[in-house]
């Protein structure tokens, strides 16, 4: 089946969060979040290595919106349900619709770090993948030194399947990194 024909919700809620596909116009709030969180993001996220403008982020958001509609990549933005504050970005990436399998990636606005929001969002996204997208496998990959990122799949009962040693460069390109691969299957 052609994945573009798949119908599934473009948003869902958890106890405290609204998780939805990116929409044109979201660039401003994502840009502001990146700007305040840049010091934390630079250590782990390749996109944070280069200065970006609000227009660049808006363009990226519109591209993500289009890819969501074509089912190439399912980026998701995370908002606090009551305040509507933007909390972070996540999504289902590196999709193989034949299995189907997905990889969850995520980053959080540093102002909301440590409150369990990303763990809650990742649990919701995992549930969404298994129930709405009929996933057979959901992965989370992270730098072995990123202890906060690593704690999320551990808390959620993902199984550590392996470590790819010296398989990539760190986000800033300054060192070799090892990648942890966590997975849940159904």
Residue 138 is predicted with a pLDDT of: 98
Residue 175 is predicted with a pLDDT of: 95
* Per-residue pLDDT band at 1 (split at 50, 70, 90): confident
The whole-model pTM stands at 0.96
* Dist CA 118 CA 125 (whole Å): 10
Torsion of CA 162, 177, 122, 151, to 10 degrees: 80
Residue of 163, 168, 12 lying closest to 90 (CA atoms) = 12
Mean predicted confidence (pLDDT) in 71-87: 98
Mean per-residue pLDDT of the chain: 97
pLDDT, tens digit (0-9, with 9 covering 90-100), for 11-41: 999 999 999 999 999 999 999 999 999 999 9
* Dist CA 28 CA 53 (whole Å): 10
């Amino acid at each position: 089946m052609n994945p573009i024909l798949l119908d599934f919700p473009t948003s869902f809620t958890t106890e405290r969060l609204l998780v939805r596909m990116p929409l044109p116009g979201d660039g401003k709030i994502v840009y502001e979040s990146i700007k305040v969180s840049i010091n934390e993001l630079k250590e782990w996220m390749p996109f944070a290595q280069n200065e970006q403008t609000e227009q660049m982020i808006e363009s990226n958001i519109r591209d993500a919106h289009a890819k969501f509609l074509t089912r190439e990549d399912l980026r998701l933005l995370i908002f606090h349900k009551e305040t509507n504050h933007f909390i972070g970005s996540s999504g289902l990436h590196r999709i193989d619709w034949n299995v189907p399998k997905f990889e969850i990636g995520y980053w959080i606005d540093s102002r909301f770090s440590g409150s369990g929001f990303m763990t809650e969002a990742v649990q919701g996204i995992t549930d969404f993948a298994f129930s709405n997208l009929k996933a057979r496998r959901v992965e989370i990959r992270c730098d072995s030194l990123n202890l906060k990122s690593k704690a999320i799949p551990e808390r959620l009962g993902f199984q550590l399947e392996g470590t790819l040693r010296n398989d990539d460069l760190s986000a800033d390109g300054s060192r070799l990194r090892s990648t942890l691969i966590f997975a849940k299957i159904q």
